[in-house]
Amino acid sequence: MNYRSIEILTIACLAVSLFACKGPKSYKENPDFKVEKAEFGMTKEGEPVQIFTIENPNGVKVKLTTYGAMLTELHVPDRNGGFTDIVLGFDDLESYLAGHPYFGVIAGRVANRIAKGKFSLNGKDYTLATNNAPNHLHGGENGLDKKVWKAEELIGSNAVGIRFAYSSPDGEEGYPGKLDIVVTYTLTEDNSLVIEYEAVTDQATPINLTNHAYFNLAGEGSGTILNQQMQIFADHFTPVDDTLIPTGEIGPVKGTSMDFTQPMTIGSRIGKMVGDPGGYDHNYVLNKKQPGQSSLAVRVKDPSSGRVMEIYTTEPGVQFYTGNFLDGTLEGKAGNAYQKNDGFCLECQHFPDSINQPNFPSVVLNPGEKYTQTTIHKFTAE
């Protein structure tokens, strides 16, 4: 089967799955899909936080918490049916509250960087936190990753999910407008984790939402991801300055260490990615026939376990980040000290600093419009 037919099949399955999932909540429909809710602790402000476990009949298990609408665990099979958790993170809420590099969170209101934390919209200037000096990163000091979201369980005949909602007040973190956001994670019977985003606003505002999971297909805490084979369906990327702000060009990957149009191990040319701390931390411009159309963006394979992750997205770009800032100081799950390159992120989103870059697709949401994005992570083993 070629990529195109897999893509069509996945999108067709998704439509069926989600339709079924939107039905009334009922455990009777398919008892093999499970959802469990537990208390996860309290924020420093005394807000209770819950954690949900959802599972499909194949044993794929996902944990999601109301803190940051975060994906904290993802257990998928290898080629022999052995399950491992393939996302980096912690075992307890306290460790997340103590601060971390956006493990599994929903990042926003504007994920990625805004140059110098400044932008103008409809003749008005806005100043945001420069929490990644000199730039604004992932929505600021107290972004969506640090909010407690409302949660609703969804169970259907062939999918199970959790729908998170958060209403960001006008002016929060310096952004204009009240923004109502819904993020739904759905686990389907074909081992896909689907993340759907929706938002509406009452004033024009920039928006760019993404999930910031750090993956290691051999299992979190198992060492570096440098031997995993990456294929990114992008002929172009957005070159950046030394503060990781795009120059505005759309550059070809061909002939550079950025070229993953054919499967290559992540480590094959990573040493050539100069700078401090080096590695990949770049936005790829995905090959698309139509803007907004879901397409296969990435295929990653771990040769040791045979696990394969394919990502389909409606977004124009994907930020490929190789965990360059991990330095062994964070004790993750089961005390695993995460080192540089122990995980990779594939953040499907709009291009960095789009609000200041007239040549990039717009990230402005106006009143009366609906922001939507859908990203599918499909797991197989070979």
Angle subtended at Cα 337 by Cα 336 and Cα 341, rounded to the nearest 5 degrees = 110
Our CB check for ligand BGC shows the closer of 200 and 266 to be 266
- Residue 281 makes contact with ligand BGC by CB under 6 A: yes
Q: Report the C-alpha gap between 99 and 305 in whole angstroms.
A: 31
Binding mask 310-339 for ligand BGC (x = CB under 6 A): ---------x-x---x--------------
Structure-token pair, residue 228: 């995993």
Least Å distance, CB 347 to ligand BGC, is 6
Which of 41, 101, 248, 361: binder of ligand BGC (CB under 6 A)? 101
Our CB check for ligand BGC shows the closer of 231 and 319 to be 319
The answer to whether the beta carbons of residues 67 and 43 sit under 8 Å apart is yes
Number of shown-chain residues binding ligand BGC (CB under 6 A): 9
* Three-state secondary structure call for residue 20: helix
Residue number with the smallest Cβ distance to ligand BGC: 101
Our CB check for ligand BGC shows the closer of 210 and 229 to be 210
- Residue 102 makes contact with ligand BGC by CB under 6 A: yes
Beta bridge partners of 237: 251, 284
Which of 183, 347, 349, 381: binder of ligand BGC (CB under 6 A)? 347
Q: Report the C-alpha gap between 189 and 192 in whole angstroms.
A: 7
Q: Which of 75, 100, 136, 212 is catalytic?
A: 212
**Concatenated DSSP letters of 77-142:** E-TTS-EEE-B---SSHHHHHT--S-TTPEE-SB-SEEGGGEEEETTEEEE---TBTTBEETT-TT
Classify residue 14 by its DSSP letter: H
Which residues ranging from 154 to 183 are in contact with ligand BGC (CB under 6 A)? none
The answer to whether the beta carbons of residues 167 and 180 sit under 8 Å apart is yes
- Clarify whether 369 is annotated catalytic: no
Least Å distance, CB 180 to ligand BGC, is 24
* Three-state secondary structure call for residue 55: strand
The answer to whether the beta carbons of residues 363 and 226 sit under 8 Å apart is no
Our CB check for ligand BGC shows the closer of 19 and 325 to be 325
Which residues ranging from 236 to 265 are in contact with ligand BGC (CB under 6 A)? 244
The set of residues, in sequence order, having a beta carbon less than 8 Å from that of 299 and lying 6+ positions away, is: 230, 231, 233, 263, 308, 309, 310, 311
Least Å distance, CB 223 to ligand BGC, is 20
- Clarify whether 350 is annotated catalytic: no
Q: Which of 7, 196, 347, 377 is catalytic?
A: 347
Our CB check for ligand BGC shows the closer of 52 and 67 to be 67
- Residue 215 makes contact with ligand BGC by CB under 6 A: no
Least Å distance, CB 212 to ligand BGC, is 6
Our CB check for ligand BGC shows the closer of 30 and 341 to be 341
Q: Report the C-alpha gap between 349 and 152 in whole angstroms.
A: 25
Structure-token pair, residue 48: 């209770």
Least Å distance, CB 215 to ligand BGC, is 13
Binding stretches for ligand BGC (CB under 6 A): 101-102, 244, 281, 319, 321, 325, 345, 347
Annotated catalytic residues are 212, 347
